[in-house]
A and B are shown apart, each in its own frame.
Chain A
Amino acid sequence: GEDVEQSLFLSVREGDSSVINCTYTDSSSTYLYWYKQEPGAGLQLLTYIFSNMDMKQDQRLTVLLNKKDKHLSLRIADTQTGDSAIYFCAESMGGGSYIPTFGRGTSLIVHP
């Protein structure tokens, strides 16, 4: 069945780059997403990439997709303390239901 894997924790120093990694198993995934969850809040869609793309950049965020290895990464440049949150990777096949499969989330801790 479908599976999305992420490491549980990442700790970085403020100002450094953060790279959060994700692997997925469903080769028919069409959409790949990154969500951010701040403490006590719901999930917020950060960015997404279509499976026919290799890279997408949006200000400090860079998403890289290696479709052959089924590997997705989110790079946050110049990481700030406000970036501390849980980051979820998700994939979906598209179609009428668009039900995503989520990873368990990576807790990013940014030290001053």
Chain B
Amino acid sequence: DVKVTQSSRYLVKRTGEKVFLECVQDMDHENMFWYRQDPGLGLRLIYFSYDVKMKEKGDIPEGYSVSREKKERFSLILESASTNQTSMYLCASSFRGEQYFGPGTRLTVT
């Protein structure tokens, strides 16, 4: 079975802090994704990556950056956390369109 893990299930950070969310997949998938999920808004794509060191902006990249130094790991970075970035963050990897999701990180910015 494909396994996608995220470094934290719950995270509380202060406004202005730099935040790192880590995601690791074990199936050698080339494509990886970061989404945020908010009530009533569904999933919104922040960034995705086709391969190591490759990244593409999704629908809402503002305030975020990403890093993919190794194929199995895709990191989401909040350079200066703000309260409007309080959300559930979901990482996924994919093969031929079938996406496999991690359990999510619920981030609260106070």
Binding site for B on A (CB under 8 A): 8, 31, 33, 35, 40-45, 48, 88, 90, 92, 94, 96-100, 102-105
Contact = CB atoms under 8 A, between A and B. Distances in A.
B38 to A, nearest CB: 10
A42 B97 contact: no
Contacts of B102: 42
Contacts of A35: 99, 101
B61 interface: no
Interface of B: 4, 31, 33, 40-43, 45, 48, 50, 90, 92, 94, 96-104
B41 to A, nearest CB: 7
Contact of B42 (A48, A92, A102): A102
A15 B96 CA distance: 35
Nearest to A94: B97
Interface of B is mostly: strand
A102 B42 CA distance: 7
B98 A48 contact: yes
B4 A104 contact: no
Contacts of B94: 98
B98 A45 contact: yes
B103 A42 contact: yes
A31 B97 CA distance: 8
A98 B45 contact: no
A35 B42 CA distance: 12
Nearest to B105: A42
A5 B34 CA distance: 22
29 contacts: A31-B97, A33-B97, A33-B99, A35-B101, A41-B103, A41-B104, A42-B4, A42-B92, A42-B101, A43-B90, A43-B92, A43-B99, A44-B101, A45-B98, A88-B43, A90-B99, A92-B97, A96-B50, A97-B50, A98-B31, A98-B94, A98-B96, A99-B33, A99-B45, A99-B48, A100-B97, A100-B99, A102-B42, A102-B43
